Amino acid sequence: MTRWGRISRDLVMILPVTVLAVLIFTAIFADVLAPYPYNKTALPERLTPPAWCEGGSTKHLLGTDTLGRDILSRAIYGARVSLSVSLLAIAITAIVGTALGIFSGYMGGRTDAFIMRVVDVALSFPALLLAILLAVSLGPGFFTVIFALSALGWAGYARIIRGEALRISTSDFVAQAQVIGVSPGRIMLRHIFPNILNILIVGITLSVGAMILAESAMSYLGIGIPPPVPSWGSMVADGRNSLDSAWWISTFPGILIGMVVMSGNFLGDWLRDRLDPRLRQL
């Protein structure tokens, strides 16, 4: 591999990891890093441009919104909300999807057929429609968003993990474990699960950006995190009617969403290339 190739490969890993690490650090220490409370209003300072623009102020580096709330502070707190929702939803979907995928792939037969039909139904159901129904019936909120993202998100994990579990179930070491009387539960936990970890890690990494994007879309439509708690999606929605005069309200949270989504995708692709032995040999 050439020197430029090694540098490019390292950048594909370093830059996404840096962005995600900064996101996690910001979410954890939002109370310390934010210069103002996220709900502090100052009507005399409403629609203040970013500090480097004409009329801007160093008191509000990224400007203020229509209520005079500091955009930087709300973006910092929004990182905590968006990351918390995404990680909880990913944890639920990964656990449920992995368990069903391994169980379906190992058991086979009618059990496999039944679970896969349920997966087909879940994958074919419009996720946005379900989110709207849940928001109407349960009311928008933190746990409603998590439930909406988790209700169908497990199906993708189940289908991918099931295919790998089906392949591993025919391996010699699994057959030997069956011959000596190892229980199905122990085989699935001790023999199959460790061999699908690489696929699971890649799937989780790719899901970070997708979940944040889904949460942002729900908040943008008004069926996500209710105000005044900020999320990046709701911040984009706050400025959609002021793009010509106050572009900064939507632009900065939109840039953050794009950066995190791209970072998750790039890191997932890098991990897939590194963890898949077939790709690692290329």
Q: What is the reported pLDDT for 8?
A: 56
Number of H helices, E strands in the chain: 12, 0
What size, in residues, is the chain? 282
| Band (2; pLDDT cuts 50, 70, 90) | low
**Per-residue pLDDT tens for 150-202?**
888 888 899 999 988 988 888 888 888 888 888 888 888 888 888 888 888 88
Contact 131, 223 (CB under 8 A): yes
- Mean pLDDT value of segment 104-116: 89
Using alpha carbons, select from 120, 118, 116 the residue that is nearest to residue 105.
116
Q: Across residues 192-219, what is the average pLDDT?
A: 84
The pLDDT confidence band at residue 282, using thresholds 50, 70 and 90, is: very low
> Is pLDDT at 98 greater than 90 in this prediction?
yes
Class of domain 25-38+46-280: mainly alpha
pLDDT category, 5, cuts 50, 70, 90?
low
CA 23 to CA 32: how far, in whole Å? 14
pLDDT tens digits, 258-272:
888 888 888 877 877
Residue 11 pLDDT: 65
Confidence of residue 3 (pLDDT cuts 50, 70, 90): low
What's the rounded mean pLDDT across residues 37-63? 87
Confidence of residue 73 (pLDDT cuts 50, 70, 90): very high
- Residue ranges per structural domain of the chain: 25-38+46-280
pLDDT score of 94: 92
Opening angle at CA 88, ends 97 and 122, nearest 5: 35
pLDDT of residue 265: 82
Q: What is the mean pLDDT of the chain?
A: 84
- Please give the full DSSP string across 132-169, using - where no structure is assigned: HHHHHHH-SSHHHHHHHHHHHHHHHHHHHHHHHHHHHT
User: What residue has token string 């909406």?
Assistant: 148
Say what percent of the chain tops pLDDT 70.
Answer: 93
Torsional sign, CA 128, 134, 139, 140: negative
